[in-house]
Amino acid sequence: MVEIQPIRAEIEREDDGRILASVPDLPGVMAYGSTEGEAIRKVKSIALQVLAGMIESGEDATGPLKVLFAA
């Protein structure tokens, strides 16, 4: 069984009207969009790519992003 905890994203509106979505638990993972939905879709994609890279390289994703494997 695999349990994956939710990824928390924060949303901010920039002065120029763009929406910035970021994942505080993954520093540097952020994406702009013209709507909240677009920004969230983009940041989810980036976060999943970063997590996949961490898993592939054997890094431990700790905290709220921890992936647990049970027999």
- pLDDT by position in tens, the chain (length 71): 556 667 789 999 999 999 999 999 888 999 999 999 999 999 999 998 998 888 888 876 655 555 444 43
Categorise residue 63: left if φ over 0, alpha if ψ from -120 to 50, beta otherwise. left
- Taking the C-alpha atoms of residue 44 and residue 48, their distance in angstroms, rounded to an integer, is 6
pLDDT of residue 65: 55
Name the architecture of domain 2-69. 2-Layer Sandwich (3.30)
For residue 62, give Cα distances in angstroms to 12, 21, 22, 49: 25, 21, 18, 16
pLDDT of residue 68: 45
**Can you read off the two tokens belonging to residue 27?**
């520093």
